[in-house]
Amino acid sequence: MGHELVANLIKSDFEGKIIPVNPSADEVLGLPCYPDLKSAGEKIELSVISVPTQFVKQAVHDSIDAGAGAIVIITAGFKEVSEEGATEERELAEYCRARNVSLLGPNCLGLINAHHKMNASFASQMPKAGGISIFSQSGALCTAILDWAKARQLGLSKLISMGNKADLSETDFLRAFAEDDETKVIVGYLESVDSGNEFIKAAEQAASRKPVVIFKAGVTQAGSKAASSHTGSLAGADTAYGAAFHRSGIIRAENFEAMFNYATAFAMQPLPKGDKVAIITNAGGPVIQAVDESVGQGLELARWSEAGTARLQDALFAEASLGNPVDVVATADHNHYHAAVSTLLAEADTDMVMVFFVTAPFTDTDAIAARIKEATEDSDKPVVVVVETYSEMYGLIDTMRAGGLPVFEFAEDGARALAAMNRYARLQERPREDPPELEVDRKAAQDIVGRYRGQGAYLPQAEAFALLEAYGIPVPLVATVSGKSDLETAADRVGFPCVLKVDAADVVHKSDAGGVVLNLVDMATLQDAFATMQKTFDGPDVSYLLMEQKTPGQELILGAKASLGLGSLVMFGLGGVFVEVLKDVGAAVAPLSRAEARELMQTIKGYPLLEGLRGR
């Protein structure tokens, strides 16, 4: 492994000094090799360690003694394999932190800095220099990323394999890449997040400056277990990650391919100023999928002005369809494509353009590619191209990518890439404000929670309402009822009409079990309801609640949950049977500003009911 690391540094034309250390060799690839760092007699900046696990600790100590400000541990065999390994890993991280030395890994591929011509990894490929910086929790995926970048002729700035994240993590690289002028787009592959609040802050700051695209794996229970065994991490809940990414302005990739596609589009094209897409095609079937996907992703089809339609009519064949999509027909040549692209980019209602074409043997496809590129050169609107062709024509795709155009194989991919760019642009336009200062009776809240902390106990409804009230949340008047003798006092407190509810840990769906009685208008109806309910629910752990009956309205559900690694999660949705049947809920990471709370409410499909629909 060490031999490969040295070979890759040499092959990448690294301009700094390389000092191989191996007690069993005098030279490595023509470079003098030393039995230890002390023998080399030189100060170092970076140490890359690839030795058996039992020798890592000494190698770290020697590296720091030699002046290393950063250490990369390639070696595996730590927290991903055993508790003993986890302990050794923590000790190494603590040792480095105490001496202000950054530690990458262990159990990682290494790192690549293309602009500095440094391949300090055991991946043999060196990408060309570009604007995409990537951090990955999987070393194996780093090699796939290098293959992808080469195939798409994309340049990379930095490629970081984080491994077990004993010290440096995604939070550190978000901050670093946000400040890095050579990085234009930040891409990440994650299986877990270690410090939720810090991650969200770093992500917000990074995404406010440049696009951040992250693919989070381990979203199912089985996937989470696989992620844990892979890098010794515990994956968080998928809903929480979705909420955290949205809060931060991160574009979440649905899969590995989407991560590449979005990064390609962001790296090559400007952001759209709106959500109107213009589509150009020479084939009918696939473009229908493009329209469906575009609309499904939240884009709108642009409309042409009369002057724009007239220009299309003058420039295209008579058989061409001039709506959106514009069908230039299969026999369209390079000038037809140029006219269509340039015309639609000039339209005020167009924010972005997707060009789709199936290569035909009776057209000059090279000329078409060149003219499409020419038509986009002076535009500040994003353009993506979808080419469906056969292997003999792949050179055409390479030519277009080399010219700075993102090219995709399928119409859906082009539509999703444009939609991702639109989402990022719209996220940047969100109003930014601090969460409001709330008047909270913290002592009352702490007293209530303290009575039940550590018991795993059901919080009685009266206590739950008191807890809500301590946080300033309006609640109906409530009175606890233990027996028939409490009814009159309780009724005096809440008034009529009122509601009687059972309060028992094992009765979750009270309405289904007969544990809720509405419209109690006087003492007689209340006493009858209580007598009936006592017969149904009786026992030492059963009590009852009398509540003020409010006028009918839309029932809602609001919940909060501590999410592993990401702080507290707030859930909002339609309540009652709707939450059971429709599961129409949204989630956001707390604390929320008023604007973020409103946005959360608007995410549910039932939001129009809250605004008032058909007189309701």
Query: For position 73, what pLDDT does the model report?
Result: 98
Cα 401 to its chain centre, rounded Å, is 27
Query: For position 235, what pLDDT does the model report?
Result: 32
Highest mean pLDDT among 28-32, 450-454, 566-570: 28-32
Residues 358 and 369 in one domain: yes
Residue 437 lies in a domain: no
Q: Residue 616: pLDDT band by 50, 70, 90 thresholds?
A: low
Residue 116 lies in a domain: no
Percent of the chain at pLDDT above 90? 74
Residues 276 and 356 in one domain: yes
Higher pLDDT: 552 or 523? It is 523
Residue 205 lies in a domain: yes
The domain in which residue 391 lies consists of: 271-428
* Tokens 């972005």 belong to residue: 352
Residues 165 and 248 in one domain: yes
Residues 278 and 409 in one domain: yes
| pLDDT at position 49 over 80 | yes
| Distance between CA atoms of residues 457 and 451, nearest Å | 10
Q: Which of 211, 187, 325 lies closest to 272 in space, CA to CA?
A: 211
Query: For position 219, what pLDDT does the model report?
Result: 61
Query: For position 236, what pLDDT does the model report?
Result: 39
Query: For position 26, what pLDDT does the model report?
Result: 93
Residue that finishes a domain, picked among 521, 548, 575: 548
| pLDDT at position 434 over 60 | yes
| pLDDT at position 220 over 70 | no
| Distance between CA atoms of residues 529 and 500, nearest Å | 8
Per the structure, the count of domains in the chain is 5
Q: Are 518 and 472 in contact (CB under 8 A)?
A: no
pLDDT per residue as tens digits for the range 282-309: 988 888 999 999 999 999 999 999 999 9
Mean pLDDT of 473-495: 95
Burial class (CB in 10 A: 0-12, 13-18, 19+), 189: buried
What's the half-sphere exposure (Cβ side, CA atoms, 13 Å) at 396? 25
Q: Residue 263: pLDDT band by 50, 70, 90 thresholds?
A: very high
Residue 574 lies in a domain: yes
Residue 433 lies in a domain: no
What's the half-sphere exposure (Cβ side, CA atoms, 13 Å) at 339? 20
What's the half-sphere exposure (Cβ side, CA atoms, 13 Å) at 553? 8
Residues 501 and 560 in one domain: no
Residues 544 and 477 in one domain: yes
Residue 442 burial (CB count, 10 A): 10
Q: How far is CA 432 from CA 212, 400, 423, 563, in A?
A: 18, 39, 16, 24
Query: For position 363, what pLDDT does the model report?
Result: 84
Q: Are 576 and 558 in contact (CB under 8 A)?
A: no
Tokens of 52: 């058996």
Enumerate residues 6+ apart whose C-beta is below 8 A from 588.
243, 246, 247, 569, 570, 572, 596, 597, 599, 600
* Tokens 């507290």 belong to residue: 568
Residues 497 and 417 in one domain: no
| pLDDT at position 365 over 90 | no
Q: Residue 506: pLDDT band by 50, 70, 90 thresholds?
A: confident
Q: Residue 227: pLDDT band by 50, 70, 90 thresholds?
A: very low
- One DSSP character per residue, 549-573 reads PPPP---EEEEEEEETTTEEEEEEE
Residues 394 and 289 in one domain: yes
Question: Residue 230: what are its φ and ψ, rounded to 5°?
Answer: -75, -50
DSSP 321: B
Residue that finishes a domain, picked among 268, 293, 314: 268
Tokens of 8: 């890759």
| Distance between CA atoms of residues 486 and 480, nearest Å | 8
Residues 157 and 100 in one domain: no
| Distance between CA atoms of residues 341 and 355, nearest Å | 8
User: What CATH number has the domain bearing residue 482?
Assistant: 3.30.1490.20
User: What CATH number has the domain bearing residue 75?
Assistant: 3.40.50.720
SS in 3 state form for 19-39? CCECCCCCEECCEECECCHHH
Query: For position 609, what pLDDT does the model report?
Result: 85
Query: For position 480, what pLDDT does the model report?
Result: 94
Q: Are 408 and 378 in contact (CB under 8 A)?
A: no
Query: For position 197, what pLDDT does the model report?
Result: 84
Strand partners for 72: 48, 104
Q: Are 316 and 382 in contact (CB under 8 A)?
A: no
User: What CATH number has the domain bearing residue 264?
Assistant: 3.40.50.261
Residue that finishes a domain, picked among 428, 462, 482: 428
Position 396, amino acid: L
Q: Residue 445: pLDDT band by 50, 70, 90 thresholds?
A: very high
Q: What is the mean pLDDT of the chain?
A: 91
| pLDDT at position 229 over 60 | no
| pLDDT at position 580 over 90 | no
Residues 338 and 375 in one domain: yes
Residue 483 lies in a domain: yes
| pLDDT at position 594 over 90 | yes
Cα 296 to its chain centre, rounded Å, is 19
State the Cα torsion 571-574-575-578 to the nearest 10°.
-120
| Distance between CA atoms of residues 178 and 550, nearest Å | 51
Strand partners for 190: 216
SS in 3 state form for 103-158? EECCCCCEEEECCCCEEEECCCCCCCEEEEEEEECCHHHHHHHHHHHHHCCCCEEE
Residue 250 lies in a domain: yes
Q: Are 272 and 352 in contact (CB under 8 A)?
A: yes
| pLDDT at position 225 over 60 | no
Burial class (CB in 10 A: 0-12, 13-18, 19+), 552: exposed
* Tokens 């229908």 belong to residue: 288
Lowest mean per-residue pLDDT among 22-31, 38-47, 174-183, 236-245? 236-245
Residues 538 and 562 in one domain: no
Residues 75 and 168 in one domain: no
- One DSSP character per residue, 515-552 reads -EEEEE-SHHHHHHHHHHHHHHS-STT-EEEEEEPPPP
Residue 121 lies in a domain: no
Mean pLDDT of 72-92: 96
Lowest mean per-residue pLDDT among 116-125, 193-202, 254-263, 369-378? 193-202
State the Cα torsion 173-175-181-182 to the nearest 10°.
10
| pLDDT at position 228 over 60 | no
